[in-house]
Chain A
């Protein structure tokens, strides 16, 4: 899901949903959506156009009209698109057939696969931009960095070569199967199904649910907001600013939830919350000023940041 000024866009498995002025509107294939299953969204800061990644093509949604790009009618690498971002005039996608870039000024596409980039295979999951680079989460290939100035690739993989465990801690990304990447405040965060990695440009640091406040090693999505990274896991939403962990969970019995501060540490503090996430299987998160929006497997949740480490949440 993605916030866009006063609007909230949500990709669902039954269409693209828009929350505006307290009202929902849903766009489907009948409106021009490429496929009802929407996997990722981003808004171009230049044009205001919404880019929609679906299970069957890429949409540009501009002024109420959809334009569809597919692997059949354009240079799009593959129709199954897991991630889309707008980086200036360029639109990047992570697809099942490689990463792709569309230069919206010239209409030219580029495709990056194991044929021309240090990927293990063309299956890519996530893309982010930051620090003059594009970062691609590549299945089995760790993180691929594209230096925009030099137009060069390099990769970051788990140097220990072990797929079952992170044999040597902090030697690189915790696992080569990466699910999401995000960059802000000069920090690259990498999500995997086996833990979290943080890279400050010099050193890697790994985090796991057994030795940190991370809710689960199974991380679906990650997004940094300033110095804080927000991890959407299969067991709640965690945030981490490099020092303090906070995890938000739904207790599953009623509307109430838990806020766990610095879990798995001597400083662990479990607080009760009157409201919570709508489900602990979290898949997306975005921010607008003091508002935080969380996509879950059972609806969208809205929270309001009331302090540096406190969030009030409500279900929609």
Chain B
């Protein structure tokens, strides 16, 4: 062989080896940097391929799952009506045959379904379209659309079937719809993020539960409202405050109307999160309202085992049992309501308040825990109460339970993809509490619907550096993370540090971390901005606000230093330059630091504001916390100019939503 050729090949091999070695070294350093120094296999896909939302690879790697959320049973028990949230469909299921009979396309991100008294119509709340679809069940077609407030979620039918009550999650109110004309007749103020609706069988009361706490003074306990409407005049007759509780997703009323039961979470956000070891981080249970006016909170957790993220509650027609789905624990709790009644009736209100933290309560009231598949959410009972259906959002299955034996009878496959993708696995991990000490909470617990829970936590355990929970929606391309910007990637955020300091468990395995990060980066998105018109169109107020946002001179004509202009820090597609800044918001309880300029897309969803949640509203950022113009030059503005600025800020949204046409008429008529 030619010597030159041999030398040439040898040199090429050597160069390749050196090059590969250098690349590998760079890749190791890069991965180490991005994962926060955690030993991690070199794998480009989790960061550079899995988070992609579009394209050939994204289509190959991902599947379109059904992700069922809620369900109801027909009056004769022969059909189940199931909301497939990610597929934007209503499924009609024959539970006897384990068969999906019909798929009906509905609006975006459907939430709940109810069936009319005569069984001829179904009503589906389309949470991202701000409307209801009326489904004609004879032809299985959409026969009408009813406009509601923004983010319609849970619904309740009046006993005579003439009125429908809808919880509007994003506008914090309750629509009352006349079903004879299919029109909204009034809208009442609800709690903060109302979601669950239950109508008393006596038709005299309508209960609406809420997800988020009402605005409360800084660093005080959350207070979440159950709104009680008078069913006769459709007016609010009571606003029941549940102290130290939130995420009251759903609510049910007993058949004789003697009590309403809501699911709830008791977050201990005022004490250091390190107290997770003492069972004091987050508890899960039910809230009770009796017709005598007593309120109680009873935990469904046990001292060494927690049942995270209670989502739905239904009550047996005999009034003796309730069933609660624990979405974060893959479990159903069967509850003895006669024991609950006895405890509540025998205890004074003061005693009940003390019982709210009693971890031994479940030993008395829980009859049995029933294991399900991943992420059980909506529950439906057959009319005779003999069968309980639990909708598993992360498996596309329904678990069917015999309520007499309290055993799983079978699982109904709704026909979703059989493959579990990386991001799907991430979704299962995100919504499961298995990775926290005693399974106390999941990622979803503080980030419901991939968002944030509106609370400020003491994560460091020192009473310092209080952290307002940030949304996880549309994070791709928005590094760094955390308020102080110390995490260069979500990997670092969700990795070892988080496990050590917050969850007190082993960190996620590299594979699980890949899945979790892929899920967060790809799947969690903002809802359509309810303050924005499509195509970048602005209202007159928003136009004026945009001019203020982009201004370079003061009202009286002086130049504003660049560092004090809004657009200096808040520019680009996410309205952030991702640089650290001092806006004068540092408190005595904070260690000295700069703050990462936050993204502003859909910022209206994320009250309270600032790193510690001290600003209750967007207005307060400038009316209360900006006395020296350190957070933008603002004190020269009149109140109407500030209002215009706030209106513009509320309208900010990601570029991918600019061509959104579907909300046009709804929004335009309301803006």
Contact = CB atoms under 8 A, between A and B. Distances in A.
B189 A104 contact: yes
Nearest to A76: B639
B620 A73 contact: yes
A77 B640 contact: yes
Contacts of A116: 640
A108 interface: yes
Q: Is the interface of B mostly helix, strand, loop or mixed?
A: mixed
Contacts of A261: none
Contacts, number: 76
A63 B643 contact: no
Interface string B229-246: 000010111110100000
Interface residues of A, number: 32
A45 to B, nearest CB: 10
A77 B639 contact: yes
Interface in A88-114: 89, 97-98, 103-111, 113
Given A62-B239, A63-B236, A72-B620, A115 B671 contact: no
B659 interface: no
Contact of A62 (B189, B624, B638, B670): B189
A64 B235 CA distance: 13
Contacts of A97: 639
B619 A48 contact: no
A49 interface: yes
A46 B176 CA distance: 11
A47 interface: yes
B643 A109 contact: yes
Nearest to B241: A65
A64 B643 CA distance: 29
A63 B643 CA distance: 29
B563 to A, nearest CB: 25
Contacts of A74: 617, 619
Q: Is the interface of A mostly helix, strand, loop or mixed?
A: loop
Contact of B617 (A62, A73, A108): A73
Interface string A50-73: 000000000010111101000111
B171 interface: yes
A145 to B, nearest CB: 20
Contacts of B620: 72-73
B171 A106 contact: yes
Contact of B189 (A60, A77, A98): A60
A110 B188 CA distance: 20
B186 interface: yes
B624 A72 contact: yes
Given A47-B236, A64-B238, A111-B639, A75 B186 contact: no
B243 to A, nearest CB: 14
B239 A72 contact: no
A108 B671 contact: yes
Given A63-B238, A73-B623, A106-B671, A111 B171 contact: no
A48 B617 contact: no
Contacts of B283: none
A306 to B, nearest CB: 31
B181 to A, nearest CB: 17
Interface in B143-169: 149
A109 to B, nearest CB: 6
Interface in B624-667: 624, 638-640, 643, 646-647
B399 interface: no
5 smallest beta-carbon distances between A and B, as pairs: A111-B640, A72-B623, A48-B235, A65-B239, A75-B643
Interface of A: 46-49, 60, 62-65, 67, 71-75, 77-78, 89, 97-98, 103-111, 113, 115-116
13 contacts: A47-B235, A49-B189, A60-B189, A72-B619, A72-B623, A75-B619, A75-B639, A75-B646, A98-B639, A103-B670, A105-B149, A105-B171, A113-B640
